[in-house]
A and B are shown apart, each in its own frame.
Chain A
Amino acid sequence: MRTDFVAREVATGLRRNVTMTAAMVLTTAISLLMVGTGLLAVKTIDATESIYSDRLEIRVALTQDVSTADAECTQPICAGLRSTLENSPLVAGVTYENQQEAYQRFQELFAGQSVAELARPQSLPATLRVKLVDQDGSTEAGAAAVKQAMANQVGVRTVIDQRDVVAKLFDFLGGVRNVTFALALVQAVAALLLISNTVQVSAYTRRTEVGVMRLVGATRWYTQLPFLVEAVITGVVGAVLAGAGLLVGKIAFIDSLLAGIAQNGVIPPVTLADVLTVSVYLVPIGAVIAGITGYVTLRLYVKV
């Protein structure tokens, strides 16, 4: 194998089709950028879900009379409910938040707003805050058991499942991820067609060379290799550009967009390590996709 010869042929090919090569690199870069964005979205959504699954709890709000009368949850109704919950194998722990504690939290949440001044401790219910046991990544069974056990019990006003609120957010994030992947897929198809087209054009512009190579007895592998290397190089360059795009996107947009909520721990931050990891994955993805497309094109459409 004459690597110097193959390298020279590849350089000639890339130079000759410079506009096609640029189009191929850019399309590959954009589709891989979308794939990368999708991967980062998946990573962020997964991390967010795990943050919330640790925090989410079921809140059993008690009726006004029980809330007012029992500040320590020692009287029969509240203690009974508490022990029912604690005896369930699906419950990890129960804490009692009395009216005074609920009031303090309310003041923290709505600090500076008029609603904070209007609220009184007596108007807020005491709650039993139930943490659930995670079974195979889900707290579904625990939530159902708690809701069933607390339904129509004396002293229970309502049962609030925080997961219901967050489920909508996760649905939205999942939608974003799916849309990103769908766009990436469409873009990837465009990139594949463009790579295929460029390989064909490249082979056509060098048909005399290819013809001579075949006639003098160059092997099929030797004849195809320059075209394949060209495709792989554009795939890799596209992937590197996509990685750079992700980095720029992180610094220019994501960081400022998520600054507040990431600091408050609402969602996990997109770290430099995340971006670099995804970028590293994109390089072999770009190379393999471009290489396979080039190979299939040469087999199907080009007599080399």
Chain B
Amino acid sequence: MIRLERVTKMYKTSTRPALDRVSVEVDKGEFVFLIGPSGSGKSTFLRLLLREDVPTRGKIWVTDLDVAKLPRRKVPRLRQRIGVVFQDFRLLTNKTVGENVAFALEVIGKSPSTVRKVVPEVLELVGLEGKVDRMPHELSGGEQQRVAIARAFVNRPLVLLADEPTGNLDPDTSQDIMLLLERINRTGTTVVMATHDHSIVDSMRRRVVELDMGQVVRDEAHAVYGVGR
């Protein structure tokens, strides 16, 4: 599903590579935690998968798409296969919950009938049925993140990338969000989640890819965050 082959990413402003010969393979339906200290390359890893950036060297495959060589006009095709969730939710504050989720379908040209059918389904999946007409500021942090997840998942992507999705949430709410991501993962969606949250990684016991100074220092199935961290 996702394959990185000796991927290096250099930024002009830094002498040290943000990613240094990283090779990782993620199968369909896997749930992977991407961990490591700030500046270890987690965000760069996710940005490269999304083709927000191109690697300096190496190859990246997402499904059957050669991401680094993808012509610009085909980038939307890649991004329609990937859902993304951020720490800061990135909801549109002037739109209701339903409109926020519908927006993701409208901008890729889905018909109004599809939007009307799919939006309530996905809101029910994330546990927000009945809140379709609420504005984001009327929701709690956890609920806002659920809207963001609904928006990321509404087009049924093959891969869901989550960049610190629980970073702004309290432990109980974080746990709820993880249950939701797990449920999405069970539908066959591959989930790659960058996190600093020890307790979540430890409780989930999923595959852990640890980055440090841009290099993969650990890639372990059913792992914990790390001893003494």
Q: Contact residues of A with B, CB < 8 Å?
A: 1-2, 4-5, 12, 208-209, 211-220, 222-223
Q: Report how far A214 CA is from B90 CA in the complex, Å.
A: 13
The 22 sampled A-B contact pairs (Cβ below 8 Å) are A2-B110, A5-B106, A208-B90, A209-B92, A209-B103, A212-B90, A212-B92, A212-B103, A214-B79, A215-B79, A216-B80, A216-B104, A216-B152, A217-B79, A217-B80, A217-B82, A217-B155, A218-B107, A219-B76, A220-B72, A220-B73, A222-B108
Q: Are A212 and B104 in contact (CB under 8 A)?
A: yes
CB proximity to A under 8 Å, residues B22-62: 50
| Sample of 9 further A-B pairs with CB below 8 A, known A208-B93, A217-B76, A217-B108 | A2-B106, A215-B50, A216-B79, A216-B152, A217-B78, A217-B79, A218-B107, A220-B73, A220-B76
B81 vs chain A, min Cβ distance (A): 8
A2: chain B residues within 8 A (beta carbon)? 106, 109-110, 112
Partner of A216 from B73, B94, B107 at Cβ < 8 Å: B107
Report the minimal beta-carbon distance from B40 to chain A, rounded to whole angstroms. 23
B91 closest partner in A (C-beta): A208
Kindly list chain A residues whose C-beta atoms are within 8 Å of the C-beta of B122.
none
Q: How far is the CA of A215 from the CA of B107 in the complex (A)?
A: 10
- Taking the complex as formed, is B77 at the interface, i.e. its CB lies under 8 A from any CB of chain A? yes
Let me know if B126 is at the binding interface, CB within 8 A. Answer: no
A residues in contact with B109, CB < 8 Å: 1-2, 222
Known A-B contacts A5-B106, A5-B107, A215-B84; the reply to A208 vs B92 at CB < 8 A is yes
On whether the beta carbons of A216 and B90 are closer than 8 Å, the reply is no
Q: Chain A contact residues: over half helix, strand or loop, or mixed?
A: helix
Number of residues of chain B lying within 8 A (CB) of chain A? 28
CA distance A53 to B84 in the complex (A): 74
Distance in angstroms from B107 CB to nearest chain A CB is: 4
Q: Shortest beta-carbon distance, B111 to chain A, in Å? A: 8
CB distance from B94 to the nearest CB of A (A): 8
| Chain B residues with CB below 8 A from A4, complex form | 112
Task: Report which B residues bind A (CB closer than 8 A).
Answer: 50, 72-73, 75-84, 90, 92-94, 103-104, 106-110, 112, 151-152, 155
In the complex, chain B residues whose CB is within 8 Å of the CB of A1 = 109
The answer to whether B155 touches A216, judged by C-beta atoms less than 8 angstroms apart, is yes
Output the least CB separation between A213 and chain B (Å): 5
Quote the shortest CB–CB distance from A202 to chain B (angstroms).
14
Q: Which 9 A-B pairs have the closest CB atoms?
A: A217-B80, A217-B79, A218-B107, A217-B76, A216-B104, A5-B106, A213-B107, A219-B76, A215-B84
Q: In the complex, which residues of chain B have a beta carbon less than 8 angstroms from the beta carbon of A218? A: 76, 107-108
Q: Determine the distance from Cα of A4 to Cα of B110 in the docked complex, in whole angstroms.
A: 12
Q: Quick one: closest B residue to A218, CB to CB?
A: B107
- Interchain nearest-CB distance for A50 vs B (Å): 54
Residues of chain A with a CB closer than 8 A to B81's CB: 217
Closest residue of chain A to B83 (Cβ to Cβ) is: A216
Chain A residues with Cβ below 8 Å from B93 are: 208
Q: How far is the CA of A211 from the CA of B72 in the complex (A)?
A: 16
The answer for the CA separation of A220 and B108 in the assembled complex, in Å, is: 11
> What is the distance, in angstroms, from A33's C-beta to the closest C-beta of chain B?
35
Complex Cα spacing A1 to B107, Å = 9
- Given A215-B50, A217-B76, A217-B77, A222 and B107 touching (CB < 8 A)? yes
Residue of B nearest to A16 (CB): B94
| List of B residues within 8 angstroms of A214 by Cβ | 79
A-side contacts of B77, CB under 8 Å: 217
Shortest B14–chain A CB gap in Å is 21
CB contacts (< 8 Å) of A209 on chain B: these are 92, 103
- How close is B144's CB to chain A, nearest CB, in angstroms? 13
Distance between Cα atoms of A292 and B93 in the complex (Å): 31
CB-CB under 8 A from A215, the residues of chain B are 50, 79, 84
B80 (CB) vs chain A CBs: closest residue? A217
Q: Within the assembled complex, what's the spacing in Å between the Cα atoms of A1 and B112?
A: 11
Closest to B106 in A: A5
Chain A residues lying within 8 Å of B104, measured Cβ to Cβ, are: 212, 216
Give Cα A12 to B83, complex, Å. 26
B105 to A, closest residue via Cβ: A216
Chain A, residue nearest B93 (CB):
A208
Whose C-beta in chain B lies nearest to the C-beta of A219?
Answer: B76
**Distance in Å: Cβ of B218 to nearest Cβ of chain A:** 29
B78, B81, B103, B112: most-surrounded residue (chain A CB, <10 A): B103
For B90, what are the chain A residues with a Cβ–Cβ distance below 8 Å?
208, 211-212
Chain B residues near A5 (CB, 8 Å)?
A: 106-107
- CB pair A216–B50 under 8 Å, yes or no, is no
State A209–B155 Cα separation when bound (angstroms): 17
> In whole Å, how far is B158's beta carbon from the nearest beta carbon of chain A?
12
